[in-house]
Homo-oligomer: A and B are copies of this chain.
């Protein structure tokens, strides 16, 4: 009788960032997505535009897998490179879930929603990597920190080092 294969646990990495991305951040996002896919990691993101779209596009360019955790209730809101759109219907509170879902978090660029996710990631003791993102107030970071990287390669290496 044939054995049903158990799932070999996937590594999920959350990528957070601005929905209206600068060309630089779009490029970083696409590179990060491609590198995560090459490393066999699954991309989790908010499923919308900007950094979220480009990181999914990058992952799909290397045959990777992408999950989008959406604020609304309609899966057509997902960008076209999201394999699995998870509609939540809970609005911006879904930011906390985007962060919870990853074993590490990479922040690329980012506006206010990204700032909330950085806070949630630090609260939840997630490994947090930053690429051209919020410059955090070092007086308040105590023992925790965000690993600051200069390239997509560095960011993905730092995220997967655990």
8 Å CB contact of A95 from B96, B97, B112, B139: B96
Question: How many copies of this protein are present in the complex?
Answer: 4
Q: How far is the CB of A148 from chain B (nearest CB, A)?
A: 12
CB pair B75 A87 closer than 8 Å: no
Query: Per-position contact with B for A112-142: 1 when CB-CB < 8 Å, else 0?
Result: 1111111110111000000000111101101
Question: Contact residue range for chain A?
Answer: 35 or more
CB pair B93 A67 closer than 8 Å: no
What residues of chain A have their CB less than 8 Å away from a CB belonging to chain B? 4-7, 9-10, 12, 42, 44, 57, 60-61, 65-67, 69, 73, 75, 80-93, 95-97, 100-101, 103, 110-120, 122-124, 134-137, 139-140, 142, 144
